[in-house]
């Protein structure tokens, strides 16, 4: 398992500063664009809002959702719709997730994690594999989260790991305990499978 750096009690401002440095370094290493994948849910958007006035050249960044609910983009539960509204005004190109999509190599994979150890929409019942030949899967969580009872599209573990770096942002002591057990190899949850196969630097803001 790769080394995991834990940053405890991290504020949105501190996470935003880290992201600005990381994205700036990725952009400095190429004359072209870079791709990143980011999560949905409520956590990323206050952090992204802090980057609006920063030095990140979003015009050179292609943004993929790590997963999405199978709903129209104008639906309140659509991850890509919310990401578009946040980042397209800054110049980013946002790509909708489809079953036939071919995700690129990412400069950064940004993930959240559920209390059940799911990442993206790779819930425990979906039995995600580190050698999955597919890059995108259509999945049905079981049980369905009551706040978002929809089928999902999700990047698979190999697609998420095709990245220069991984960053997690997790909130709460219960989730921190799940994450710590996963990085210690004490579970077989989706997050543990991903961490066990990771080869790049992993940073966790908790």
Write out the H or E segment, with its range, that includes residue 204.
strand 202-205
> With bands split at pLDDT 50, 70 and 90, how would you rate the model's confidence at 152?
very high
Cross-strand partners of 38? 65
- Three-state SS letters, 4-16: EEEECCCCHHHHH
Q: 66, 122, 134, 70: which is closest to 94 by C-alpha? A: 66
Give me the sheet containing 67-69, strands edge to edge.
67-69, 152-155, 136-139
Helix (H, G, I), strand (E, B) or coil at 20: helix
Q: Domain with 168 in it: what CATH number?
A: 3.40.50.1360
Quick one: average pLDDT of 75-84?
95
d(CA 199, CA 43): 25
Amino acid 15: pLDDT: 96
Helix (H, G, I), strand (E, B) or coil at 152: strand
> With bands split at pLDDT 50, 70 and 90, how would you rate the model's confidence at 1?
low
d(CA 130, CA 127): 10
- State how many domains the chain has: 1
Say whether pLDDT at 147 is over 90: no
Measured at the alpha carbon of residue 75, what is the angle toward residues 69 and 78, in degrees to the nearest 5?
35
| Range(s) of the domain holding residue 18 | 4-205
**Residue 125, preceding bond cis, omega within 30 degrees?**
no
Length of the chain: 206
Q: 64, 43, 45, 69: which is closest to 144 by C-alpha? A: 69
pLDDT tens figures, 22-56: 999 999 999 999 999 999 888 999 999 999 888 89
- Give the pTM: 0.95
Say whether pLDDT at 2 is over 80: no
Residue with tokens 């057990």: 181
Quick one: average pLDDT of 3-17?
94
Residue with tokens 């990245």: 163
Task: Please give the backbone phi and psi of residue 205, each rounded to the nearest 5 degrees, phi first.
Answer: -90, 120
């Amino acid at each position: 398992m790769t080394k995991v750096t834990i940053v405890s009690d991290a504020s949105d401002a501190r996470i935003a500063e880290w992201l600005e440095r990381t994205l700036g370094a990725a952009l400095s290493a190429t004359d072209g664009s870079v791709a990143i994948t980011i999560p949905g849910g409520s956590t990323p958007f206050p952090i992204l809002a802090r980057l609006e006035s920063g030095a990140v050249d979003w015009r050179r960044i292609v943004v993929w959702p790590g997963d999405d609910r199978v709903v129209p983009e104008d639906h309140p539960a659509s991850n890509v719709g919310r990401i578009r509204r946040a980042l397209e005004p800054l110049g980013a190109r946002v790509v909708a997730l489809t079953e036939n999509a071919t995700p690129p190599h990412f400069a950064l994979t940004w993930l959240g994690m559920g209390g059940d150890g799911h990442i993206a929409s790779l819930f425990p019942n979906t039995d995600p594999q580190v050698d999955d030949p597919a890059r995108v899967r259509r999945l049905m969580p079981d049980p369905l989260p009551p706040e978002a009872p929809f089928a999902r599209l999700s990047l698979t573990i190999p697609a998420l790991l095709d990245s220069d770096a991984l960053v997690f942002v997790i909130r709460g002591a219960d989730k921190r305990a799940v994450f710590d057990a996963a990085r210690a190899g004490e579970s077989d949850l989706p997050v543990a499978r991903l961490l066990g196969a990771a080869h790049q630097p992993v940073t966790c803001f908790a």
